[in-house]
Structure 1
Amino acid sequence: MADRPPPGGLGLWHTTTLQSAKAKRDHQQQLTCHTTTIAGQKRSIVHELLPQTAIAPDQDEAIAKKRRLTPFRLGSSVLSEPPRLTASAIKSVDDSVIDGGLSEYSQRRAFPSTPTSTVDPLLSLSHLSYGLPKQLVANFAVLGIKTIYPWQKQCIMGPGLLQGEKNLVYSAPTGGGKSLVADVLMLRRVLDDRDAKAILVLPYVALVQEKVRWLRNVVNGIPREDPDGKKSPGEQKQQQHWTKRADKDTVRVVGFFGGSKVRATWADFDIAVCTIEKANSLINSAINDCSITKLKSVVLDECHMIDDGYRGYLLELMATKLLCLEQQVQIIAMSATLTNIGLLKDWLQGHSYETRYRPVPIEEHLVYDGKIYPACTTASLIKAATQLNPRSQATQSSVQNFRTISPSNHKEFKDSVLNAVVALADETVRAGYGVLVFSSSRAGCETDAVLISRVLPSFQEADPIIQEKRLDLLSDLRSLSTGLDTKLEQTIPVGVAFHHAGLTTEERELVTKGYDMGTLKVCVATCSLAAGINLPARRVILHNARMGRDLVGPAMLRQMRGRAGRKGKDEVGETYLCCRQNDLEAVVDLMHAELPQISSCLISDKRRIRRALLEIIAIRLATSREALDDYVSKTMLAYSAEPGSIQEHVEASIAELQEMNFITADHFSNFQATQLGRAIVESSLDPDHGIFIHDELSRALKAFVLDGDMHVLYNFTPVSDLGGISINWRVFWNEMEKLDDSGLRVMNFLGLKPVMVNKMLHGGTLKETTAEEKETARRYHRFYLAMQLRDICNEFPIHKVAEKYGMPRGSVQNLAQTCEGFAAGMIKFCEAMGWGAMAAALDHFSDRLKAGARSDLLALAKITFVKSRTARVFWDNGFKTVASVASADPNELLPVLLQAQPNKVRLEARDEKKYRDKLLVKAKIIADSANRIWQVQMQQEIDEE
C-alpha cells in the first residue's frame, strides 16, 4: 500500500501517537532483558539503546552503571522508587486501522498547504509594506517566526490598521498566532514616534511576566542606524524606526502587576505590559496629569473577559475612556473565544476579523467506560451520548468506538476514568511526545502525577542526558527557599510534574521550563490555570471536565483543548475528554455548546456603573452632565441595553456618589470629586470598599499602635475575599495567646474579642447578617491574614508559614504579593487624603513585606537574588551594606551563597564543580546588581551636594 510507512522508518514518516507507541514497543520487546527485583519477583525492564555514535567506548561502563536498577542519591538522601505499576493496554477495535497504514487522525487527510513568502511576498515581515526594521525582523526569525500566515497578513493589512487610523477586533483559535498581529501593530505605533507609548493588557500575572520576556527578546538590539550606512529610498522612509530615542538603543518594556512596586510613570517605559487593574490605574493617572497624549496603542488580550463582573468590566471602563479622548489611540482587542464580535466592532468603531485557522489541527476524542470515540462532529457527539445513555432505547452496539482501554488489575486504577487518563498519558510518553493533563483540583493534580509516574519507564531507563537534566531540575527546586516538594521529588525523576496555584511562582516557573525543554514529558495542571499558562502538548487529556464540583464553561474547555499541538514540533494535536456516566450528557452538550455571547456588565451590579462615573469625574475626563452622558453613550453598555434602563442607573449612581460624599455639584451642575473620591480612584479601590478603608484609617489615626507590627500589617490586608482563605480558629487562638501587649491592644482597638475566638474554636458561627456583623467578620478575617504577614516580615520562610497555617505554599506567597499591591494602594490613599505620617509608616512596612525581612536588611534586599534568608546570611557574614557586596569579588560571595542554600544537591561522589559554577554565576549577578544600586546611591549623594 502506498500509505504504509516503511518498516522501521519511525524517523522517516510522520506517525500518529498510537503508531509511534506501537512501533516503539515492538522495537523495545526485542531489547528486553529480565532482572529480579528486590522482592524476588520477575519483571521485564526495557532498556533504550542509544545510537552507536552517541556512546564512546570509554563511556560504556559509566552508562551501564547509571542504568542499573538501584536507588539513586541526591546529596545524603536516597530516592527509592515506589512499587511500579503497569498501565492498561489500549487496543484498536480494528487492527487494520493501525497496521494497514490508514491513520485515524486528521493529518492523514489532505490539508491544503500554507503558502510561503516565495509565493506571496507579503507573508514575509521584511516586506516594506509592514515598515519594520531589519533587526526587528531578524529577532522574530530567531524566535521562530520567519513567515506569517495568510490570515495574519489579511488581518494586518486591514484598512487603516498599519497607519494606526482604525481600531481592530479579531478572533483566532488558541495556537493560531493571534498575538503576532497585535505585536506588529503595536510595535509599528511605538517605532513610528520616538515619544510614543503602548500598553498591553493581560489578565494574569504569569502571562504578564511571560510577555515581558518575549517582547524584550523581540526588541533586543534594534540599532539606532543602519549598520551599512546605505539605505534604499524605501529604507530612508523608515529612518525614524531606527532612532527610537536619542539616549536609548532599544524599546523599553516594563511589566506592571500586583506585587510590583514599579512606579507607573510614562518616563520609564515605551511598552507597558500590565494586568487589568494596573492598566486602568495607569490610564487614569495619565489622563489626570495630561500625559495621555503620548499613548498611541492599547492591546486588550483575552477581551472576552469584558463581561466578567469581578474584574473584567475594567476593560470596558478603560476602552471607553480612550474613545472619549480627542486624540487617536489605536485599540486592538483579541480573543480565542469571541462569538458576537460585531458588538465589539460597533462599540470600538473599528475593523473586525475572524478566522478558525490553526497551523496544527486538533483531533478530539470522548472517552467513556474504557472506550474511545471520535468527537469530530456535533452529530457524532450527540449520537454517542444518546446511544450510550442507559435510558436510551438505542443499542450501544451501534456506537462505533475505535479503541478500547483494557480494565486494570491494579486497585489504584479501578476507577475507569483514572485508568483511562493514566493509560493515555503512558501511551503518549512511550511514543516520545509530551502530554498535558488537566485535573479538577490541586489534590487531584498531585494524585494523577504520582500515579502516572509509577507506570512510566523508570529513572534508570532514561537516556543519561535526560537523567542529568532531571537531576539538575531537582537540584534547582531543592535550592529554593521552600525546599523540594516530596511528591515532585518522586515524580520528576521519571519526567512527570504538576502545576497548580499551591506551588510558589519559582516552583511553577521551573516546572514550566522543564516541560518546555523536554526534560519533563507530563505536566498535570488544574483547569483554572488553563488560561494562565502556555504549555502546548501533543496530547491534552482532561480528567473529567470539572473545576472543583462544577462543570467548566465552553470558553474554559476551549482554552484547555486549545493547548494541544506544538507548532514546529507536532503535525497534529490530540485531545481526550474522559467522563463518567453521570456526566455524559452534560459533557457532550458542553463539547459542542456555542460560546456564550459577551455583554456589558456595568449595570448588573450598581457598584460598577458607580465606579465608572466616579473615575471619570475624579480624573476630570467628564465633569458636566452632558459630558457624563457622552461618556455613557460610548460604553459597550450603550450598544447592548435599553437607553431608559441605562439612564435610570446613571441617575441613581450620581445620587449615591453625592450621598457617599465622593462627588459634589456646583450651581452650574458641574461635578467634581471630593478629596475622598479622588483618594479612592488613585488607590484603585471599589467605592464601597473605600468607605470601609476610610473609616478604618480614620479611627487608626486617632490611636495608631506603632510599638509593634500588627496594626500596620492589618491595614495591608485587602478588604475583598482572597481566594476563599478561611480562618483556622485553632491557629487563630494559638497565635492570639502569643501576642505581646502591642498586638493585644490592636485586637482591642479593632473590637476583636478573645471570647469570640474561643466560641468559634468550639463550633460557633460568625454571623454576617447585618452590615455591622459583616464589618466585624471582615476585621477578624483581616487580622488573621495580618498574622501571616507578620511572620513573613519577620523572616519566616514561606513554607514554614504555610505549614503553620495549614495552607499551600503558593497561597501564602500569593497572599504576600497581593498584599504588596494593596499596600501600594493604601499608601496612595493616605497621600491623597493628606495623611503623610501614615503613608510613611505604611511605605516602610511595604518594603519589609516585599523583602520578607526585618528593617536592618532592607538595603541588602534591594539586590537581585538577595531576599529574606539569603539577606540574613549575608548580614551574618559581614556583608551588611550594598557597598560591601558591590566591592566583593564574586568568589568571596560563593561561600556565603553555599551557606544560604537550604540543601546542597549533587549526586553522590559527583564532582561539585558544576554545582559551584552555577552558584558562581549567581554570585556575579548579585555583585553586578549591588554595583548598579551603589552607583545610583553615589550619584544621588553627589546631586544632593
Structure 2
Amino acid sequence: MMLTRLTIPIKPMRHRRAESRRRPFFRPTVNSKTTNEPPRLAASRIEYADGSVIREQPSEYSQRQVFAATPTSTVDPLLSLLHPAYGLPAQLVANFAALGIKTIYPWQKQCLGGPGLLEGDRNLVYSAPTGGGKSLVADVLMLKRVLEDRKAKAILVLPYVALVQEKVRWLRNIVGGISREELEENEQTEKPGFWAPRADKDTIRVVGFFGGSKIRATWADFDIAVCTIEKANSLVNAAIEDCSISTLRAVVLDECHMIDDGHRGYLLELMATKLLCLGQPVQIIGMSATLTNIELLKKWLQGHSYETHYRPVPIEEHLVYDGKVYAAGSTASLLKTVSQLESKSQFSQPRLQPLRTIHASDHKELTDPVRNAVVALANETARAGYGVLVFSSSRAGCESDAVLISRVLPTLEEADPAIQEKRLDLLSDLRSLSTGLDPKLKQTIPFGVAFHQRELVANAYDHGVLKVCVATCSLAAGINLPARRVILHGARMGRDLVGPAMLRQMRGRAGRKGKDEVGETYLCCRQTDLEAVVDLMHAELPELSSCLISDKRRVQRALLEIIAIRLATSQDSLDDYVSKTMLAYSAKSQSIQETVEACMADLKTMGFIEVEDNGDFQATLLGKAVVASSLDPEDGIFIHNELKKALQAFVLDGDMHVLYNFTPVHDLDSVPVNWKVFWNEMQQLDASGLRVMHFLGLKPFIVDNMLHGGNLKESTPKEKENARRYHRFYLALQLRDLCNEKPIHRVAEKYDMPRGSVQTLAQTCQGFAAGMIKFCETMGWGAMAAALDHFSDRLKAGARSDLLALAKITFVKSRTARIFWDNGLKTVGAVASADPKELLPVLMQAQPNKVKLGAKDEQKFRDKLLAKAKIIADSANRLWQIEIQMEMEEE
C-alpha cells in the first residue's frame, strides 16, 4: 500500500527559524498586560521520516481524479435536477445551484429513481457516508410533496437543536423566490383546478420547532416543519388529535440510526408507527450514515432501501501513537501497525515506519504526548489556512484543548485585518447574549480558536473567522462542521470508549467538498488504550433493534399516546398499532402480547386510562395532560403529585417554587449534587426560599448529613421521590442565579460544574418548562400555567422581571438590557424614541475590555456599534407600535 503524506503546504523549518530571529514569535496586543494573558507556546515540529517538513509529491487523492471518473450531466442528463423526470420548478433548481449543487451524483440519481419514490407512493430508507450528499435525496422528495399540493405539509426530524436551526436556514434559502402562484399557473395549463386556493402568503413557510422556543406547535403556520425528535412527536400527536394530520405528505427521519437510542430515539419508532397506522399517503424517508441492518427498517417501513459508500472527498486516516503518525486507512493496516509496534522480538519483520514524527515539547504544558500531538496537528493545519475540528472526551477537555491551541497560533494583531474585525465582532456578539461572554472564549477567539458552545461560534468557524473548533465526542452527530482535518483527542467519551457509530460520525466530519482535495483524521491514542482502539476500529456497527423490547415504560407511553389522541381506542386497533411497530419485527409475538397486557393494566391502575361500557379505552384528563407535556407515565405521576400539592400552597413571594417546577425529572444523575454548595446556598435562602424547602419536605439536617459523608437512601419508591426532590431543588438554585442575570460561567464556578453543563441545563429547562405549562393548561390550572409562562420568559431572557420587555429587542439581552435600564432607558418606548447616536455610548458601556487596535480601527468599531444601534432602535419601534396597537384594541 502506498503511504501518502500530508498535503498541507507549510514553510520549511529552517525558514521559520530564520524568520523567528528577525521578529519575536509573539507580539502582544495593546492591553495584553492588563488581561493576564498566559505566555505564548511554540507548537512541536512535525516532520516526515526523511526529515522534510513540506510535501514533495502531490497526494494520490485529488478532486480532479475523483471527478474525472464521475459522469456529468452532459454525459448523463439525469444528473441534472432540471431533467423532467424529477419534476422540479426551475427556480428551485436555480436555488440549489446558487448554493453549490449544480449536478447530482450517480448514486443520488439511482436512489431517487427507486420504484414509486418520486411519485410519493413508497417509503425509503437509505444509507450514505457523512459528506456523501445524503440530505439532498430527502430534500428533493420532501420538496416535491410540498410543491405538488398547496395544502401539503412535511416534517423533517433532526436529533439536535443546532441541526434544526441550521436546516431551517438552508431550506429557507432553497425555497426562496418560489412563487406558488406561478406554479399554479403552470400546473393549471396541464391540469386545470389542480391547486386549491390559499388566502395566506404565496411562499413556502419553513418553521423550526425545538425545546425552549416560543413557537407553538401549531399545524396552520408552516408548510415544512423542522423539528427535534420530541417536538416532531408532539406535533404529530396534536395533528392526529385535531384531525389536521390529513394534509401531511412527507416525514424525513434524519440520523434514523438513533431509533435504538434508549433515551429519546424510541420516539422515532412511536411517531413512524402512528404514521403507518393513518391509512393515508405519507411518504416516510429515513436516512443515516451508520445503518447496518437496513433490511429491518425496509421491512418495517414497507418501502425501498438503498446503500452507497461513495464520498466525493476521500479521507486519509491516521493513528497517532507516542509521537508517531501511522497510516490507518483500513482496519488491516491499523492492525498491522499495532502488531509491529508491540513486537519485541529481534527476529520479527521490520516494523512499519511512521509517516511523520511529532517532536517532543519543552513546555511543561505539552509534556503529555497525546496533548502535544493534538496541539501540533491543529497548529499545522490552522496556520496553513484550513479548518480543524478537535474532539475531546469532556467539556473541561474542550476548554483545555482550546486554550492550549490558542497559545501556539498567531495573535490577533498578526491576523488579516478583515479577520481581526470579524473576531472582534464575534466577541461583541457573544458578549451581548443573555449568558454573557465566556472567559475562556474571550481568551481563545482572538487567536481563531473556540469550543463549540453556540450557533455564533459554529457560523464563525464555517465562514473561516475561526480556524479551530473543539467539541465533545457526544456532539459529533449534533454539529455539521466539516473540516480539512479532524483530530480525536483519544477515543473516549468521559471514561468509556466511544462506540463504532460515534467514531464513524467523528471521522466523517473530515473533508469539505469544494474546498479540500482530501479529508484527514488523526486518532491520538494512549498506550493504555491501544488494544481497545484496535478493537474499536475493527468492530462492526451494531445492528438496530426496537428500544420498546427492553423497557416497559416506553411501551406504556406508546399505548397511552395512541389512546389519548384517539388513534386507537379498541382492542383491535391497539393490536393493529402494535403489529406495525418495529418491535413486532424484533421480538416474539407472545412476549409482545404479554408486555402490552401488563402495560395496559398499569395504565389503568395509575389512572391514565379507563374502560368505557362498550369496552373501548379512553384517556383520563391526567392521561391527556401527560401526553400533552411529553412525559413518560411514571414521571407524569410524580409531576402531577408535585403540582397538585403546589396548588394548595404555591409560594409566590419568591422565585424558588416556580423554578423548582421547571427542573426536569429525568437524567438527574448526570448532574451530581455538591452538598457543600447546597449547604452554603441553603444558609443564604430568604424566608420565601426556606418555606419552599419546608413545603417540599427538604430537611436541613439531611443536607448537613450529606455534607459530612451521609447517604441519601433510594431503596423504596418513596425514598427515590424524596431524593429526586433534593436533586431538583439543587438545580433550581442554579436556575435562580441564571434568571437573576448571573452569567453562565459564574454559575458554573459557583456550583463547580462545567460551563457547558450549566448551559445545557438552561436549555433543557426551557423545553421542560414548556411541557409543564401544557400540563397545567390541559388540567385546567390556568393561573399556575400563567405563572410558569412568566418565569419561562425570564429563564429564556436570563433576566429579572423588570428587563423582560427590553430583552425582546434585537441585540438587547440580559446584560445589555441592564445597562440600558441603568442609563434611564427602562421601556421599549424610551429606546424607540432615542436617536441611534444616543444609544452609542450605552452600547460602548456594554463592551468592556475591548481589544484596542488603533484610532482607525477604533472608528470602524464605533461605526459598527452605530449600525447595531440603528437595528436596536428599529426593533424597539416595531415592538412599541405593537404595544400601542394592543392598547388601542383593549380600549
Q: Which residue of 1 aligns with 2:607?
A: 661
Which one of 132, 156, 178 corresponds to residue 200 of structure 1? 156
> 1:388 is matched by which residue type in structure 2?
L
Pairing 1:440-451 to 2, within 5 Å after superposition: 440-451=393-404
> 1:442 is matched by which residue type in structure 2?
R
Q: Which residue of 2 aligns with 1:50?
A: none
Quote how far apart the aligned CAs of 1:907 are. 2.2
In structure 2, distance between residues paired with 1:865 and 1:467: 21
1:350 aligns with 2:307: no
In structure 1, distance between residues paired with 2:218 and 2:86: 30
TM-score by length of 1: 0.88
In structure 1, distance between residues paired with 2:597 and 2:610: 14
> 1:858 is matched by which residue type in structure 2?
L
Pairing 1:358-437 to 2, within 5 Å after superposition: 358-390=311-343, 395=348, 397-437=350-390
What are the superposed Cα offsets for residues 163-221 of structure 1, whole Å, 9 maximum, x if unpaired?
21111111110001111111111111111111211111111111111111111111122
1:18 aligns with 2:6: yes
Which one of 724, 732, 757 corresponds to residue 786 of structure 1? 732
Runs (4+) of structure 1 moved beyond 6 Å?
94-97, 106-111, 238-244, 391-394
Which one of 668, 675, 680 corresponds to residue 626 of structure 2? 680
1:494 aligns with 2:447: yes
TM-aligned CA distance change 1:746 to 1:476, over 3 Å? closer
In structure 1, distance between residues paired with 2:807 and 2:413: 42
1:73 aligns with 2:30: yes
1:169 aligns with 2:125: yes
Tell me, yes or no, if the aligned pair for 2:30 and 2:851 is still in contact at 8 Å: no
Tell me, yes or no, if the aligned pair for 2:315 and 2:520 is still in contact at 8 Å: yes
1:866 aligns with 2:812: yes
Tell me, yes or no, if the aligned pair for 1:440 and 1:545 is still in contact at 8 Å: yes
**Secondary structure of the corresponding residue to residue 531 of structure 1:** coil
Tell me, yes or no, if the aligned pair for 1:495 and 1:521 is still in contact at 8 Å: yes
Q: Which residue of 2 aligns with 1:697?
A: 643
Quote how far apart the aligned CAs of 1:393 are. 9.4
**Secondary structure of the corresponding residue to residue 34 of structure 1:** helix
> 2:270 is matched by which residue type in structure 1?
L
Tell me, yes or no, if the aligned pair for 1:364 and 1:576 is still in contact at 8 Å: yes
In structure 1, distance between residues paired with 2:688 and 2:106: 67
In structure 2, distance between residues paired with 1:21 and 1:812: 41
CA RMSD in angstroms, aligned pairs only: 3.0
In structure 1, distance between residues paired with 2:429 and 2:54: 45
Q: Which residue of 1 aligns with 2:169?
A: 213
Tell me, yes or no, if the aligned pair for 2:391 and 2:488 is still in contact at 8 Å: yes
Which one of 713, 718, 731 corresponds to residue 767 of structure 1? 713
Q: Which residue of 2 aligns with 1:898?
A: 844
Quote how far apart the aligned CAs of 1:847 are. 2.4
Tell me, yes or no, if the aligned pair for 1:625 and 1:670 is still in contact at 8 Å: yes
My pick for the range that moved more, 901-910 or 311-320, is 901-910
In structure 2, distance between residues paired with 1:530 and 1:480: 25
In structure 2, distance between residues paired with 1:625 and 1:389: 63
TM-aligned CA distance change 1:419 to 1:866, over 3 Å? closer
Q: Which residue of 2 aligns with 1:123?
A: 79
Q: Which residue of 2 aligns with 1:223?
A: 179
**Secondary structure of the corresponding residue to residue 547 of structure 2:** coil
Tell me, yes or no, if the aligned pair for 1:90 and 1:405 is still in contact at 8 Å: yes
TM-aligned CA distance change 1:386 to 1:865, over 3 Å? same
In structure 2, distance between residues paired with 1:682 and 1:540: 42
**Secondary structure of the corresponding residue to residue 173 of structure 2:** helix
> 1:366 is matched by which residue type in structure 2?
L
Pairing 1:213-292 to 2, within 5 Å after superposition: 213-226=169-182, 236-237=189-190, 245-292=198-245
> 1:551 is matched by which residue type in structure 2?
L
TM-aligned CA distance change 1:695 to 1:81, over 3 Å? closer
Quote how far apart the aligned CAs of 1:444 are. 2.3
Which one of 135, 144, 147 corresponds to residue 188 of structure 1? 144
1:88 aligns with 2:45: yes
**Secondary structure of the corresponding residue to residue 705 of structure 1:** coil
Quote how far apart the aligned CAs of 1:559 are. 0.5
In structure 1, distance between residues paired with 2:617 and 2:883: 45
The sequence identity of aligned pairs, in percent, is 74
In structure 1, distance between residues paired with 2:418 and 2:652: 57
Pairing 1:454-603 to 2, within 5 Å after superposition: 454-459=407-412, 461-478=414-431, 480=433, 482=435, 484-499=437-452, 503=453, 505=454, 509-603=455-549
Tell me, yes or no, if the aligned pair for 2:315 and 2:518 is still in contact at 8 Å: yes
TM-score by length of 2: 0.93
**Secondary structure of the corresponding residue to residue 331 of structure 1:** strand
In structure 1, distance between residues paired with 2:786 and 2:461: 44
Tell me, yes or no, if the aligned pair for 2:435 and 2:798 is still in contact at 8 Å: no
> 1:211 is matched by which residue type in structure 2?
K
Q: Which residue of 1 aligns with 2:676?
A: 730
> 2:313 is matched by which residue type in structure 1?
V
Quote how far apart the aligned CAs of 1:380 are. 2.0
TM-aligned CA distance change 1:486 to 1:852, over 3 Å? closer
> 1:219 is matched by which residue type in structure 2?
V
Q: Which residue of 2 aligns with 1:143?
A: 99
TM-aligned CA distance change 1:613 to 1:95, over 3 Å? same
What are the superposed Cα offsets for residues 118-139 of structure 1, whole Å, 9 maximum, x if unpaired?
2222222222322222222222
In structure 1, distance between residues paired with 2:606 and 2:799: 39
> 2:607 is matched by which residue type in structure 1?
N
Q: How many residue pairs get matched?
A: 889
> 2:795 is matched by which residue type in structure 1?
L
Tell me, which stretches of 5 or more residues in structure 1 are unaligned?
Answer: 1-14, 38-44, 46-68
TM-aligned CA distance change 1:929 to 1:189, over 3 Å? farther
Q: Which residue of 2 aligns with 1:34?
A: 21
**Secondary structure of the corresponding residue to residue 604 of structure 2:** helix
TM-aligned CA distance change 1:719 to 1:436, over 3 Å? same
TM-aligned CA distance change 1:452 to 1:105, over 3 Å? farther
> 1:18 is matched by which residue type in structure 2?
L
In structure 2, distance between residues paired with 1:235 and 1:95: 68
What are the superposed Cα offsets for residues 341-397 of structure 1, whole Å, 9 maximum, x if unpaired?
111111111111111110001111222233322222332222223333358898362
Quote how far apart the aligned CAs of 1:901 are. 3.9
Quote how far apart the aligned CAs of 1:521 are. 2.3
TM-aligned CA distance change 1:578 to 1:791, over 3 Å? closer
Tell me, yes or no, if the aligned pair for 1:421 and 1:541 is still in contact at 8 Å: yes
